[in-house]
């Protein structure tokens, strides 16, 4: 049975990638198919007493992998939003769900609080598959990933503490708070202890001839060892230990980091397949049906009331999040493996103690929210992202030096989704400190370009100091990935012909500098508009795609062109000209807008709504 689940789970991964649907949806379907409700191949008795141990270790590996990838510079991408999500947002979610369960289902306060604590968790088990198919900007991904890691930990500990101190022993709120702090402290201590030990062993390089393999196994043992140590002291403290070890090790300068990350991802895929499928098979549809209308209303409250409120709280006043990204954050908050696994264990314990009603309410409530949020929010994440426009086509710039960074700054100010590819540590650090998405690697390697998202890129710019490197990048972008718009920095004017032979738009660096100086001399005010977009000015050329403006003269569109903006030019190349008021616009016309940045942006959206 284990072999069947593993093979089927890995097959699900392939299907998910093929259809670009988060794998969690397929896991749920496969679990229901194998479970007692359909084929009956997987039941609670299938794994015996080992289920809790296997699930715990698997979750530790999954949480560790997610935490290991959560570098501090990524957290800084959305620090204010992330902090609000894991503090105010978590509290609002916890209290809101607890009250909703109490009111809508009539459950006891103790059960309502346990459910509220469990359903705070989103987690890497559902967020990671979503981010694999929905390519959002770095600050959005960072906010979702940070929320998933931290809230997984706090939700697991809080649920166990409430379950033990309030539901089983009725010790009161003060003892519950103390127990929460104790478990969190045990987890953090175990995680830091494991980190220190593993880092010492890696630094000593005990087996030089097997360095990469040793590094993989030592780091992997940090996840298992820290979890086991913490669990031996306090239940569910192991999740906090694994997360602490992952974040701590992930932010250290470790040898063989790339091979460690690959190993961790592969291990996560294997255990994710087993855990999610096996737990999904334990879903009790009868318990869900018993909730009736109260369960459905609870789902509505969680998805359409609490999540939007939390997203608003997290992003209000944060300029980096645009309206579409705020809506995406509000629309995507699926629940993951932590509430599923912990709720199953709680339900078994309650049923054994003879409290069948509480067991059914707990299990049914948790699984109806997991099922609904995973199917709707995770299953439709790509469509939601595309509809909201949070998955823009990428602009990839290879070379994060002065030219690449300056270009990235201008493009980001205009709302482009820029990814820099750079392998120099100093330049990577500088670019990340300025808030750019930086992919580590050699831009002449196919795998690096693919991982940076070149298959989804609308523009590729080769901006290194080496013309041979730039030419190779352009050749791959053109011939292998079929990128339509490819640009290159040409450092030696004698190499221009080689780039033009590839139909690449090449910019001669000496000539570009001469043009810039000439503009400053002859037309300084226009140069200011062109070269300083941060000063509130902008010039943009677009292709008109708005049907409502086709066949109309410019003089008739005065009300449609925002104030502070004008049409400076129409056409391309030799056909470009300053239009007169009676010129009639056609679909496909190239229009250049000049004016205030906000007005130009609004005009671009009106005349090119499909951008």
Task: Judge contact between 465 and 490, C-beta under 8 A.
Answer: no
542: left (phi over 0), alpha (psi -120 to 50) or beta: beta
What is the share, in percent, of the chain residues with pLDDT greater than 70? Answer: 93
Strand pairing partners for 420?
397, 438
- Measured CA to CA, the distance from residue 106 to residue 413 in angstroms comes to 51
pLDDT value for 328:
92
Extract long-range pairs of 470-476: CB within 8 Å, 24+ residues apart: 470/398, 470/399, 470/499, 471/495, 471/498, 471/499, 471/502, 472/444, 473/398, 473/443, 473/444, 473/449, 474/499, 474/502, 474/504, 475/502, 476/444, 476/446, 476/449
Burial of 266 (0-12, 13-18, 19+ CB in 10 A): exposed
Q: Do domains 2-42+51-388 and 536-607 have the same CATH topology?
A: no
492: left (phi over 0), alpha (psi -120 to 50) or beta: beta
Q: In the CATH scheme, what architecture does the domain 536-607 have? A: 2-Layer Sandwich (3.30)
- Measured CA to CA, the distance from residue 114 to residue 165 in angstroms comes to 11
pLDDT tens-place string over residues 326-363: 999 999 988 877 787 778 777 777 777 777 788 888 88
Task: Judge contact between 37 and 285, C-beta under 8 A.
Answer: yes
The residue whose two tokens read 């949020």 is 373
Question: Which segments of the chain have a pLDDT < 70?
Answer: 73-78, 166-172, 204-210, 236, 280-282, 392, 414-415, 525-536, 610-611
Task: Judge contact between 365 and 101, C-beta under 8 A.
Answer: yes
| Cα separations in angstroms, 18 against 12, 22, 387, 482 | 10, 10, 21, 20
CATH of the domain spanning 394-517: 3.40.50.720
Q: Which helix (H) or strand (E) covers residue 570, if one does?
A: strand 565-570
Strand pairing partners for 507?
489
- Measured CA to CA, the distance from residue 306 to residue 547 in angstroms comes to 39
Q: Would you kindly state where each structural domain of the chain is located, as residue ranges? A: 2-42+51-388, 394-517, 536-607
- Measured CA to CA, the distance from residue 30 to residue 254 in angstroms comes to 38
Task: Judge contact between 226 and 242, C-beta under 8 A.
Answer: yes
C-alpha 323, offset from chain centre:
17
Q: Class of the 2-42+51-388 domain? A: mainly alpha
Of 240, 234, 241, 242, nearest to 267 by C-alpha is: 242
CA angle 314, 342, 247 (to 5 degrees): 50
C-alpha 283, offset from chain centre:
28
Strand pairing partners for 591?
542, 570
- Measured CA to CA, the distance from residue 322 to residue 315 in angstroms comes to 9
pLDDT value for 9:
79
Of 5, 419, 468, 56, nearest to 239 by C-alpha is: 56
Contacts of 159 (CB under 8 A, 6+ apart): 114, 117, 118, 236, 339, 342, 346
Alpha helices in 106-137 (DSSP H): 109-118, 124-133
pLDDT tens-place string over residues 224-257: 899 999 988 887 688 888 888 888 888 887 777 7
């Amino acid at each position: 049975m284990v072999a069947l689940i593993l093979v089927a789970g890995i097959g699900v991964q392939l299907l998910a990638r093929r259809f670009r649907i988060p794998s969690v949806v397929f896991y749920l379907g496969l679990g229901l198919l194998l479970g007692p409700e359909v084929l009956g191949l997987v039941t609670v008795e299938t794994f015996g007493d080992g289920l809790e141990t296997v699930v715990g270790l698997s979750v530790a590996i999954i949480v560790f992998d997610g935490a290991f990838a959560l570098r501090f510079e990524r957290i800084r991408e959305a620090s204010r939003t992330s902090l609000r999500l894991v503090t105010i947002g978590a509290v609002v979610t916890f209290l809101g769900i607890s009250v909703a369960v109490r009111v809508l289902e009539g459950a006891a306060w103790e059960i309502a609080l346990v459910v509220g604590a469990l359903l705070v968790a989103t987690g890497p088990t559902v967020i990671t598959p979503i981010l694999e198919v929905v390519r959002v900007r770095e600050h959005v991904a960072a906010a979702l990933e940070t929320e998933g890691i931290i809230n997984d930990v706090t939700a697991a500990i809080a649920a166990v503490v409430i379950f033990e101190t309030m539901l089983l022993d009725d010790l009161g709120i003060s003892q519950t708070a103390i127990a929460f702090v104790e478990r969190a402290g045990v987890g953090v201590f175990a995680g830091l202890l494991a980190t220190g030990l593993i880092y010492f062993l890696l630094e000593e390089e005990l087996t030089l001839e097997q360095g990469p393999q040793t590094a993989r196994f030592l780091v992997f043992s940090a996840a298992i060892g820290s979890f086991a140590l913490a669990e031996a002291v306090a239940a569910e403290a192991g999740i906090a230990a694994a997360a602490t070890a992952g974040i701590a090790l992930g932010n250290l300068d470790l040898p063989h980091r790339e091979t460690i990350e690959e190993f961790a991802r592969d291990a996560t895929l294997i255990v994710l397949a087993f855990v999610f499928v096996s737990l999904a098979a334990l879903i009790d549809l009868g318990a869900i049906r018993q909730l009736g209308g109260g369960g459905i209303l609870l789902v509505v409250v969680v998805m359409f009331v609490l999540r939007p409120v939390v997203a608003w709280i997290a992003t209000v006043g944060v300029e980096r999040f645009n309206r579409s990204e705020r809506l995406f954050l509000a629309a995507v908050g699926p629940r993951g493996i932590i509430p599923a696994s912990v709720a199953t264990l709680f339900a078994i314990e309650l049923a054994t103690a003879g409290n069948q009603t509480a067991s059914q309410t707990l299990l049914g409530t948790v699984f109806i929210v997991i099922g609904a949020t995973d199917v709707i929010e995770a299953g439709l994440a790509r469509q939601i992202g595309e509809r909201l426009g949070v998955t823009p086509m990428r602009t990839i710039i290879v070379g994060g030096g002065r030219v690449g960074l300056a270009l990235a700054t201008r493009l980001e100010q205009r709302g482009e989704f820029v990814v820099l590819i750079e392998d120099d540590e100093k330049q990577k650090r500088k670019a990340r400190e300025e808030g750019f998405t930086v992919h580590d690697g050699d831009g002449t390697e196919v795998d690096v370009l693919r991982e940076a998202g070149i298959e989804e890129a609308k523009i590729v710019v080769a901006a290194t100091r080496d013309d041979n490197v730039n030419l190779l990048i352009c050749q791959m972008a053109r011939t292998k990935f079929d990128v339509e718009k490819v640009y290159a920095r040409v450092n030696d004017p004698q190499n221009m012909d080689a780039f033009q032979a590839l139909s690449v738009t090449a910019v001669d660096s000496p000539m570009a500098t001469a043009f810039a100086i000439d503009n400053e001399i002859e037309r300084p005010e226009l140069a200011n508009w062109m070269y300083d977009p941060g000063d509130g000015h902008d010039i943009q050329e677009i292709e008109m795609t708005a049907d409502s403006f086709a066949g109309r003269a410019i003089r008739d569109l005065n009300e449609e062109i925002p104030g502070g903006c004008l049409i400076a030019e129409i056409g391309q190349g030799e056909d470009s000209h300053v239009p007169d008021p009676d010129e009639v616009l056609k679909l496909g016309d190239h229009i250049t807008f000049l004016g205030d940045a906000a007005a130009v942006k609004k005009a671009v959206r009106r005349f090119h709504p499909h951008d």
